[in-house]
Structure 1
Amino acid sequence: MRGRSAPFADPNQASHEARPIWSAEAGAPVLIARAAAIAGPDTSEAALFAPDLPGAVHLLIDDRKRSHLLLVCGPLALQLLIEGADLLSGPVSLNFITRGIAELAPAIDKLSMLRRILACSSQFRHAQRSWSTQTLRLRNALIALDGHAAGASYREIATVIFGKERVARDWPDPSLKDRVRRSLSRGQAYINGRYRTLIF
């Protein structure tokens, strides 16, 4: 194509985790917009540089010079299909397009989603970093429990919890395997009634 897009979808992840760009022609729900380049300095709210938008995770430019911009915040995701000016050349203004009255309600829903993503992304990124010891233990217990139920080995479970590099480096040390065992025991205790401690 134009050499401006990089591969981004991890084939080892499920589609809802990898967050690929879906084809609008195949029926993917997208919010359509037209970009107009802004000449000279413009400090108005209409000016935006798309890659700097909160929640922007992927930008793909197709062979028709259309931009496919994916915005994500936590469980919320919205794909924009943007025609017109090149989003990477500088600030643009966006005009959102509704193609017919029948598309009005879906477009309003997508605009509402866009507003929520732009509002929450900075707060969500901060929340992601705020793991406590208790929430980390709970997370690891649930990962170990799910992995065990799916038939994963201790090493495979450790890879999900601690990452591939750390497991490759530290697996000969039995303490990492012991941590997986403890996480699995903690998870089994939760399903045997300990979950009540999270409720009360």
Structure 2
Amino acid sequence: MDPSGVGGFDFAADPALNATEAEIFWRPECCSSVVMLDAHPALTSMLAYAPQNWPDLRSRRTTSDGDYVILGARRREHRLWLPGPPAPGAALSALIPVDKSTQTRSAATLRFLRHVNGSSPGAAKIDDKRFSEMLCALDGHLAKASYRDIAEQLFGHERLNREPWKTSSIRAMTIRLVKGGIALMRGGYRKFLTK
């Protein structure tokens, strides 16, 4: 693999294998679903560099520009690139450039982290902001506040008054948040617990 791009390939492959046997290790700039990880000694990370311990390790190749790792198979495949490579056990952080691939690379990184942490791909997911909004909406509901009062606390007076309350998207969202909070209270929170 020639980093200058002259006569090289955009992927690393073992030249001793034929094309049907060889694993292809895509360079991250050519494939936005490649997860980029790097050592970051200043961080305390929940992920340490130990590919031999990651589930479903399929293939690994070390080249002059870093480590290429493939985990899983078919639709549950995870392709990783680590410059260096890092020292064994080094704390890792994800590298996600802010460019046209940001969304794809972020999603691939989250899928990889769920895979390494043993979370099922079909497991329930909720972001922190929505979870917090549901709990606040539930608190308001339990305190007998009206939907309008709850919405004002969550979204502010100015945003609430931009459209008529009866047909407002904020009203519909507030009702959904209250219902979501009630569902969490009635045991729905169990879907988000790791085993």
Query: What TM-score results when the alignment is normalised by the length of structure 1?
Result: 0.41
Q: Which has the larger radius of gyration?
A: 2
Query: What TM-score results when the alignment is normalised by the length of structure 2?
Result: 0.42
Structure 1 or 2: larger helix share?
Answer: 1
